[in-house]
Amino acid sequence: MVSASAVIVNKLRRLRSCFAFFCFAGIALSSYAFYVETKKEHDDSYVAMCDISESMSCTKVFSSKYGKGFGLLQFVLDENSPLIQPNPVYGAIFYGLVLLLGLGNYLFLARVQMLLCIMANIGSVYLGYILYFVLEDICVVCVSTYFVNFVLLIVNLLRISKLKQLSLETGGPILQTGGFNKTKKRV
């Protein structure tokens, strides 16, 4: 017979795998967006795969003033500041950071992940508004990253719920980075 905590740990493992998959998808999307943006800066005749039509063009979005520093950092920092980077750089950093935070089953780190995922989704709403209403464009890569951000938020919410369940089941905080056999209660 399998214990309830073993079932929860198995679900946590699957959630962690799902979360990692979408983090890697986000890193891949950010890398592609960065490649397209830099390629277009150096070669004006470059046409990306994501440039489907005049109203569905990712290079149009990436090369807009909102494509760097979210269109906001320019107001608080100098135009030549090293902190003003293409948005995909921030995306790759975000996905890498939340991936690292999710390696263990620590409730505190899962809550930090949740905060970062909430901020990413607020950013997605902001950039989605800019995309559709200001730039009047549809960017397939951008919309895909918005979807990835939303999925990461949902998966992290489920993960926090399972971590709380596991903590209640075992009677205390969980100190786990590996499989079920390494689960220990803090004394």
Domain-embedded: residue 99 = yes
Answer whether 0.75 is exceeded by the pTM: yes
**pLDDT tier at 179, thresholds 50, 70, 90:** very low
Domain-embedded: residue 169 = yes
Which CATH number characterizes residue 150's domain? 1.20.1440.130
Give the mean model confidence (pLDDT) for residues 77-106: 92
Q: What is the pLDDT of residues 32-74, one digit of tens each?
A: 999 999 999 999 899 999 999 988 999 999 999 999 999 888 8
What range defines the domain where residue 76 resides? 4-182
SS (HEC) of the chain: CCCHHHHHHHHHHHHHHHHHHHHHHHHHHHHHHHHHHHHHHHCCCCCCCCCCECCECHHHHHCCHHHEHHHCHHHHCCCCCCCCCEHHHHHHHHHHHHHHHCCCCCHHHHHHHHHHHHHHHHHHHHHHHHHHHHCCCCCHHHHHHHHHHHHHHHHHHHHHHHHHHHHHHHCCCECCCCCHHHCCECC
pLDDT at 171: 73
pLDDT at 1: 65
pLDDT at 173: 61
Look at the chain and report how many structural domains it folds into: 1
Out of 106-110, 131-135, 136-140, 176-180, which region has the weakest mean confidence (pLDDT)?
176-180
pLDDT at 177: 46
Domain-embedded: residue 187 = no
pLDDT at 187: 39
pLDDT at residue 18 is higher than 70: yes
